[in-house]
Amino acid sequence: MAQVRKSAGKSAGRRKNLLIELGTEELPPKALKTLAQSFAQNFFDGLVVSGVAENKPNQYKYYATPRRLAVWVKGVSPKQSDQIEQRTGPAVSAAFDHQGNPTAAAQGFAKSCDVPVSRLKKRVSDKGSWLVFENKVKGKNLNALVTQCLNDSIKALPIPKRMRWGNSDVEFVRPVHWLLALYGSDLIRTEVLGLKANRFTRGHRFHCPGTLKISSADRYLNTLKLNGFVIADYQTRQLMIVKQTTRLAKKANAQAVIDQNSLDQVTGLVEWPMASLGEFDQKYLKLPKEVLISTMVDHQKYFHITNQKGKLMPLFVSVSNIKSKTPKRVRQGNERVLHARLSDAEFFWNTDQKVKLHDRVDSLKGVLFHNQLGSIYDKTIRVKGLAGVIATKLNIDKKGVQRAARLCKADLVTDLVGEFPQLQGTIGKYYAKKQGEDRHVADAIESHYKPRYANDKLPSTSLAQCVALADRIDSLVGIFATAEVPTGDKDPFALRRAALGVLRIIIERKLDLDLFELLSQAMKQYVNSGLKNIDTRNPVIEQVFEFTSERLKGYFQSQGFSAEQISSVQACKPVKPLDFANRLQAVSHFFSKRRAAAESLASANKRIANILTKANLHLDIAGDNIKFNNKLMTDPAERQLAKSVEIISKEVKRYFITDQYDKGFEKLSALKVPIDKFFDEVMVMHDDPAIRNNRLALLIKIRQLFLGVADISRIRIEIGNIQGD
């Protein structure tokens, strides 16, 4: 029995603004913005569903600092309107007998509603009529609704791991110490996370360690700012950081480099931002710029400074969470910490270069890749072999590719990468160049890790592309062979990202490579390595191929291709990703430029597919082996279509062999008229078996021609779905 509720009228009472604040221990800075937005959105949505808040733009705001999550909602009603609870029972036809007496179904439904049958009503719609029970439910007051919405929004927060504190079973991302809840100037009586709401908040941990009384929801921001040394509005605080940082850099006739991720993190670390300009010893500029930037940005949460030409300068801007009486000491402290880190980096840089990269390869034997797949050294040997195979197929310098593959992981055992793991590959590139390696080899050591994330740049050189492909394909095949495949949202080895990287490199760099063959070659590397306890059977290759091919749908949809267009190409199972892209482009172009012909041919293909399915005929016969007998053709339309197919098929095959699918489709479009005429004038399923089979053979031939590009029968068209003869 379905149960629904609808409002019995407008919510009554004067609307006021509502404020909720959760006071916590310092929240994770990287997640602060996401947590705050989610908390506010979920809470507001709950109020809207409850009928006490209006679903309009700019009806709520989120506030967030390291020690608080807050939401302000405009114009909230003090009470929910009364609700009409409606339960649907049996159909009227089943509820009463021919004499109009209630049946057991009606009586049972009435009993479950605790009312007599006479209290039940009838609801009539286009689909029939049913018995219904309507009951008026008094609307909840705001206190109860706030409690419910708070609990629901807290449960829905994107928190991977929640923590408990004290003796309580309450869980949250960090310990929660206070709860503020105001409706206008009135206190909301609510309790969540083991805390009762009050009208007190807390200011800055150092400048205002005590409590602050908030007189009303609309005085929240000003009270915290003027009395508590807290800028609660996230965007306002972020803008302050940008202005302060930019101004300091300008004074030095330079510019601050502020990327959004770093800015969000710094914003999540401070409640009262105070920026200061610092400097470091120029001698450290001899270090790779990536080391300097990583030290300042990733380790110290500083913003680095460049001159007008973009060259790194020995300056930085730090943002502290305190208004110091002696700002010089704050600046000196920041400089001292940075100096210590850069001094360590300089030591590692100089020490690492005493050992050549190629002499470090054997040390990779002590670094585990996977407990069933061996060490990083084992992986390096496999990648070297597979990269050589790819180089041969692409007619690229095999010796250079294999040299790059051998050295691509060697920097993992350097001290500098140990200190800056995010710079693996980059450090190797610098060492390779200093040690006289070919510049393309050095570049491949760094860029074989690309793309690291969505929309990242691809390896630019052919040599780097070979190594990048080999590295990812080795991981895909190996992890699948251990049966540790991604499930749901769990992908600990980032195989989805690896698969997408393989596809992007092949398609966007226009590499004519057979993916299935590459996977088979990768499996051979595993077989030759002698590893035991992994599945090296052919199904693994097929699983990886399907897994990788599945990524094509999302990849091409992001470029504007429809799901049906992609499905039409997938039906043909191309083994070359670049070939897939070319086919898809041809389908899209054909349907956009030759719409009428495309729709007609798609409809005809659908009709042919239905006919062949009903006839239990499969397309597992090569197109060249399909023969139809002209002597058995009794209808002029049939003979004309057969003649057109014979002429066009020769030209189409020439285009398909050279991947000129656009031109092939253009030729196939000439079949529109004879196909339309054929279906208008010819009955395929003739009583004479010989004639019927001959016509079916002709249809198979046509179907095979189109499947040389895509199964366009899968593309939905406006003129309807023709079921066939």
Query: What would the DSSP string read from start to end of 332-380?
Result: HHHHHHHHHHHHHHHHHHHHHTTS-HHHHGGGGGGSEEETTTEEHHHHH
Give Cα 323 distance to the centre of its chain.
40
Among 19-33, 463-477, 563-577, which stretch is predicted with the lowest mean pLDDT?
Answer: 563-577
Residues 6+ away with beta carbon under 8 Å from 34: 158
Tokens, residue 243? 């202005």
- Asked if pLDDT for residue 725 goes beyond 50, the answer is no
Token duo for residue 370? 């996977």
Q: Which pLDDT does position 719 carry in this prediction?
A: 37
Question: Among 57-66, 164-173, 233-242, 683-692, which is the least confidently predicted range?
Answer: 683-692
Distance CA 59, CA 78 (A): 16
Measure the CA–CA gap between 666 and 586, rounded to whole angstroms.
Answer: 10
Model confidence at 251: pLDDT above 90:
yes
Q: Cβ(195)–Cβ(31) under 8 Å?
A: no
**Are the CB atoms for 661 and 582 separated by under 8 Å?**
yes
What does the pLDDT look like over 19-57, one tens digit per residue?
Answer: 999 999 999 999 999 999 999 999 999 999 988 999 999
Q: Which structure tokens are listed for 275?
A: 């920026």
**What are residue 178's DSSP bridge partners?**
23
- Rounded average pLDDT over 423-449: 96
At 687, the pLDDT band (50, 70, 90 cuts) reads confident
To which H or E segment does residue 8 belong? none
Q: pLDDT tier at 87 (50, 70, 90 boundaries)?
A: confident
pTM for this structure? 0.81
Residue 696 has pLDDT above 50, yes or no: yes
Q: Quick one: pLDDT at residue 9?
A: 52
The yes-or-no verdict on residue 621 having pLDDT over 70 is no
CA gap 35, 38 in Å, rounded:
5
Q: What are the DSSP E strand ranges found in 464-572?
A: none
Q: Which residue has the tokens 């899968």?
A: 714
Residue 681 has φ and ψ, to the nearest 5°, of -115, -10
Q: Are 291 and 240 in contact (CB under 8 A)?
A: no
- pLDDT per position as a tens digit, 150-202: 999 999 999 988 999 988 889 999 999 999 999 999 999 999 999 999 999 99
What confidence score (pLDDT) does residue 240 get? 98
Q: How confident is the model at residue 537 (pLDDT cuts 50, 70, 90)?
A: confident
Give per-residue burial for 684-723: e unless 16+ CB within 10 Å, then b.
Answer: bebeeeebbbbbbbbbbbbbbbbbbbbbbbbbebeeeebe
Q: What is the mean pLDDT of residues 237-254?
A: 97
Residue in 132, 127, 121, 135 with CA at minimum distance from that of residue 82? 135
**Residue corresponding to tokens 């990648």:** 383
pLDDT > 50? residue 722:
no
Mean pLDDT of 524-544: 87
User: What does the DSSP assignment read for 243-262?
Assistant: HHHHHHHHHTT-EE---HHH
**In the predicted model, what is the mean pLDDT of residues 298-314?**
95
**Kind plus residue range of the DSSP H or E element containing 40:** helix 32-50
3 state DSSP class of 591:
helix
- pLDDT score, position 272: 97
Out of 301-315, 358-372, 574-588, 703-717, least confident range:
703-717
Query: How many Å apart are CA 368 and CA 609, to the nearest integer?
Result: 52
Least-confidence region, from 61-65, 190-194, 707-711: 707-711
- The predicted-structure confidence for 501-512, as pLDDT tens digits, reads as follows 999 999 999 999
**Tokens standing for residue 71:** 């939401």
Tell me what pLDDT residue 407 has. 97
Q: Of 25-29, 156-160, 216-220, 230-234, give the lowest mean pLDDT range.
A: 156-160
**Can you say how many angstroms the Cα of residue 443 is from the centroid of all Cα atoms in its chain?**
29
- The arithmetic mean of pLDDT across residues 225-230, rounded, is 96
Interatomic CA distance for residues 645 and 637, integer angstroms: 12
In the block, tokens 């009428």 appear at 596
Average confidence score pLDDT of the chain: 89
- 412 falls in which pLDDT band (50, 70, 90)? very high
| Alpha-carbon 125 to chain mean position | 42
CA distance 112 to 108: 6
Count of residues for the chain? 725
The answer to whether residues 438 and 403 touch, using CB atoms and an 8 Å cutoff, is: yes
| Tens-digit pLDDT profile for residues 369-378 | 999 999 999 9
Q: Give the model's pLDDT for residue 503.
A: 97
Domain boundaries, given as residue ranges, for the chain: 3-80+141-228, 83-137, 234-343, 358-560, 585-714
What are the Cα distances from residue 694, in Å, to 26, 619, 674, 688, 690? Answer: 78, 15, 17, 10, 6
pLDDT of residue 676: 83
The predicted-structure confidence for 317-356, as pLDDT tens digits, reads as follows 999 999 999 999 999 999 999 999 999 999 999 999 999 9
* pLDDT surpasses 70 at 1: no
Residue holding tokens 């790819």? Answer: 390
pLDDT confidence bin for 721, thresholds 50/70/90? very low
pLDDT at 708: 81
pLDDT at 330: 94
Confirm if 378 and 529 have CB atoms less than 8 A apart. Answer: yes
* pLDDT greater than 70 at residue 462: yes
Q: Which residues contact 18 (CB under 8 A, 6 or more apart)?
A: 47, 72, 73, 76, 142, 146, 182, 183, 188, 217
Q: Beta partners for 180?
A: 21, 198
Cβ pair 463, 446 in contact under 8 A: no
Q: What is the pLDDT of residue 575?
A: 93
Over range 680-684, report the average pLDDT.
80
The Cα 514–Cα 522 span in angstroms is 12
For residue 394, what pLDDT band results from cuts at 50, 70 and 90?
A: very high
Instruction: Supply the pLDDT for residue 717.
Output: 52
Of 269-273, 352-356, 514-518, 572-576, where does mean pLDDT reach its minimum? 572-576
**Rounded Cα–Cα distance for residues 634 and 280 (Å):** 92
CATH fold for the domain made of 585-714: Isoleucyl-tRNA Synthetase; Domain 1 (1.10.730)
Q: Tell me how far apart the alpha carbons of residues 486 and 494 are, in angstroms, rounded to a whole number.
A: 8
The rounded distance, in Å, linking the Cα atoms of 444 and 463 is 7
Is the Cβ–Cβ distance between 8 and 81 less than 8 Å?
A: yes
Q: What's the pLDDT score for residue 623?
A: 45
CA dihedral sign, ordered 492, 493, 495, 501? positive
pLDDT bracket for residue 80 (50, 70, 90) = confident
Segment 525-554 shows an average pLDDT of 89
Cα(229)–Cα(231) distance, rounded to whole angstroms? 7
* 576, pLDDT greater than 70: yes
What is the structure's pLDDT at 723?
34
pLDDT, residue 133, reads 84
The predicted structure's pLDDT at residue 618: 57
Give yes or no for a contact between 505 and 459, defined as CB atoms under 8 angstroms apart: yes
**CA dihedral sign of residues 71, 73, 79, 80:** negative
Contact 120, 129 (CB under 8 A): no
Of 589, 506, 594, 590, the closest CA to residue 551 belongs to 506
pLDDT band at 13 (very low <50, low <70, confident <90, very high): low
Strands of 16-24's sheet, edge to edge? 60-65, 68-76, 16-24, 176-183, 186-187
**Distance of alpha carbon 700 from alpha carbon 693, whole angstroms:** 10
Residue 626 binned pLDDT confidence (cut-offs 50, 70, 90): low
pLDDT in tens, 264-287: 999 999 999 999 999 999 999 999
Contact status, residue 391 vs residue 401, Cβ threshold 8 Å = yes
Helix, strand, coil share of the chain (percent; to 5): 55, 15, 30
Q: What is 358-560's CATH number?
A: 1.10.3210
CB 43 within 8 A of CB 153: yes
